[in-house]
């Protein structure tokens, strides 16, 4: 069988993150088709596994995140070009290493930077401008040297193709790993709000996630309770919001990031409403998971979210719009949202289908290699 390497992630088993979850299900669904290898981030030796889902694991003594990510990705790309037939790059911060592909017969399948990743750093500070320029440059390098490109949202496929003059394949994410959980006594003791009616949103603490809009809206809708789960201390934006609002409003509950999947699913699956506030992403795994859980969803209105929900959610762009939608919600609308979004999730966002698209793309890479 052809040797296929999954690189650019923290590795498997997946503990957090959409890209890691993607790698998890590719190892589960494709391990009989290829001789699979997965590169993993720095891990204590006693916790390292030799294989997982019949996939050989290779550990690199560097972190896949932060400043070390450039060296981590460069190392894994160069090593894979020497040892494997196809590189499935699921995330990459060192695209120049891809240049060395020209000296080999190896093929690269790239999960391209999603959404408006190259615009995420805002402001006029020098570091911000440099980071934006670097991301745009890296995106161009990736598009040039990849043999097959995957983009995770239909709204971005045409944009990517026109920008880089290459064809792209659409492959989103699965949500069928999200499981509804019953409320236990232990969960109630830890999260007393579970006994009442509440809305929920989960996102990173950065400006394009628009958490500030949710907080401002719920100040004006005191009859509804919202639970906001985020990594507050990871940014000045999050720290400021937490300091100004934590514990100051009875109907606004701020929780630190939850990495226990069962615990998070307990909170999400028992909510009355899910708020998806991301404005600069592709197909967000958190949105797909909420849809699969059968939750009614209100989304920030951007093309990617419209595509993910097939224009069947409720949308807002301003705080007054969100307030209006929250105040006008009724049981009929809630039931319609649940049914429409669950149907979309069942039809599109399940891992067997997504893995099948990756299988087709890997096979296309193999065909190119054999032809050459």
Secondary structure, 3-state, the chain:
CCEEEEECCCCCCCCCCHHHHHHHHHHHHHCCCCEEEEEECCCCHHHCCCEECCEEEEECCCCCCHHHHHHHHHHHHHHHHHHCCEEEECCCCCHHHHHHHHHCCCEEEEECCCCCHHHCCCCCCHHHHHHHHHHHHHHHHHHHHCCEEEECCHHHHHHHHHHHCCCEEECCCCCCCCCCCCCCHHHHHHCHHHHCCCEEEECCCCHHHCHHHHHHHHHCCCCCCEEEEECHHHCHHHHHHHHHHCCCCCCEEEEECCCCHHHHHHHHHCCCEEEECCCCCCCCHHHHHHHHCCCCEEEECCHHHHHHCCCCCEEECCHHHHHHHHHHCCHHHHHHHHHHHHHHHHHHCCHHHHHHHHHHHHHHHHHHHHHC
**How far apart, in Å, are the Cα atoms of 144 and each of 89, 156, 159, 245?**
14, 17, 15, 46
Q: How many residues does the chain have?
A: 372
Q: Is 34 a residue whose pLDDT tops 90? A: yes
pLDDT tier for residue 126 given thresholds of 50, 70 and 90: low
User: Is it true that 3-174+350-371 and 185-348 share their CATH fold?
Assistant: yes
Query: Would you say the C-alpha torsion 318, 323, 324, 330 has a positive or negative sign?
Result: positive
CA distance 142 to 164: 10
Mean residue pLDDT across the chain? 91
pLDDT tier for residue 115 given thresholds of 50, 70 and 90: very low
CB 263 within 8 A of CB 313: no
Q: CB-based burial of residue 142 (10 Å sphere; 0-12 exposed, 13-18 middle, 19+ buried)?
A: buried
Mean pLDDT of 343-355: 98
pLDDT tier for residue 36 given thresholds of 50, 70 and 90: very high
pTM: 0.92
Q: Give pLDDT tens digits for 37-46.
A: 999 999 999 9
Using left for φ > 0, alpha for ψ between -120 and 50, and beta otherwise, residue 66 falls in left
**How far apart, in Å, are the Cα atoms of 142 and each of 41, 95, 148?**
21, 6, 10
Q: Is 188 a residue whose pLDDT tops 50? A: yes
Beta strands 297-300 and 314-316, pairing class: parallel
CA 248 to chain centre: 31
Q: Give pLDDT tens digits for 43-79.
A: 999 999 999 999 999 999 999 887 888 899 899 999 9
CA distance 302 to 280: 8
Q: Give pLDDT tens digits for 132-156.
A: 677 777 778 888 889 999 999 999 9
CATH for 3-174+350-371 (1.20.1250.20, 3.40.50.720, 3.20.20.70, 3.40.50.2000): 3.40.50.2000
Beta strands 3-7 and 35-40, pairing class: parallel
As beta bridge partners, residue 283 has none
CB 211 within 8 A of CB 241: yes
Mean pLDDT of 247-264: 95
pLDDT at 132: 66
pLDDT at 263: 95
More confident residue, 126 or 88: 88
CA distance 248 to 130: 38
pLDDT at 123: 42
The fourth-level CATH superfamily of domain 185-348 is: Glycogen Phosphorylase B; (3.40.50.2000)
Q: Report domain extents, the chain.
A: 3-174+350-371, 185-348
Mean pLDDT of 315-337: 97
CA distance 232 to 27: 32
Beta strands 55-59 and 51-52, pairing class: antiparallel
CB atoms within 10 A of CB 66: 10
CA distance 162 to 319: 34
Mean pLDDT of 2-7: 96
pLDDT at 35: 98
CB atoms within 10 A of CB 145: 17
């Amino acid at each position: 069988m052809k040797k296929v390497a999954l690189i650019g992630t923290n590795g498997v088993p997946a503990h957090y993150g959409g890209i890691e979850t993607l790698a998890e299900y590719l190892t589960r669904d494709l391990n009989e088709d290829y001789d699979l290898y997965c590169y993993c981030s720095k891990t204590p030796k006693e916790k390292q596994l030799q294989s997982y889902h019949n996939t050989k694991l290779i550990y690199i003594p560097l972190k896949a995140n932060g400043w070390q990510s450039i060296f981590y990705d460069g190392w894994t790309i160069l090593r894979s070009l020497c040892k494997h037939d196809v590189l499935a790059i699921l995330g990459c911060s060192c695209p120049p290493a891809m240049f060395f592909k020209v000296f080999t017969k190896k093929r690269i399948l790239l999960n391209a930077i999603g959404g408006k990743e190259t615009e995420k750093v805002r402001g006029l500070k020098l570091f911000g401008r440099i980071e934006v320029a670097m991301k745009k440059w890296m995106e161009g390098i990736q598009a040039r040297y990849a043999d097959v490109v995957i983009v995770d949202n239909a709204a971005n496929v045409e944009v990517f193709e026109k920008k880089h003059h290459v064809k792209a394949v659409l492959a989103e994410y699965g949500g069928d790993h999200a499981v509804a959980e019953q409320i236990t006594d232990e969960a109630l003791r830890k999260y007393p709000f579970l006994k009442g009616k509440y809305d929920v949103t989960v996102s990173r603490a950065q400006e394009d996630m628009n958490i500030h809009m949710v907080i401002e809206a719920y100040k004006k809708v005191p009859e509804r309770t919202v639970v906001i789960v985020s990594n507050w201390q990871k940014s000045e934006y999050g720290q400021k919001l937490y300091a100004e609002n934590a514990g100051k409003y009875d109907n606004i509950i701020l929780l630190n990031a939850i990495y226990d999947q069962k615990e998070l699913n307990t909170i999400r699956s028992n909510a009355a409403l899910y708020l998806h506030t991301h404005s600069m992403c592709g197909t967000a795994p958190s949105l797909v998971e909420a849809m699969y859980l059968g939750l009614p969803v209100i989304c920030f209105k951007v093309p990617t979210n419209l595509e993910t929900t097939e224009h069947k959610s409720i949308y807002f762009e301003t705080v007054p719009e969100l307030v209006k939608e929250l105040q006008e919600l009724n049981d009929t609308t809630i039931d319609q949202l649940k049914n429409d979004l669950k149907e979309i999730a069942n039809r599109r966002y399940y891992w067997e289908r997504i893995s099948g698209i990756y299988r087709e793309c890997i096979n296309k890479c193999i065909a190119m290699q054999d032809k050459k």
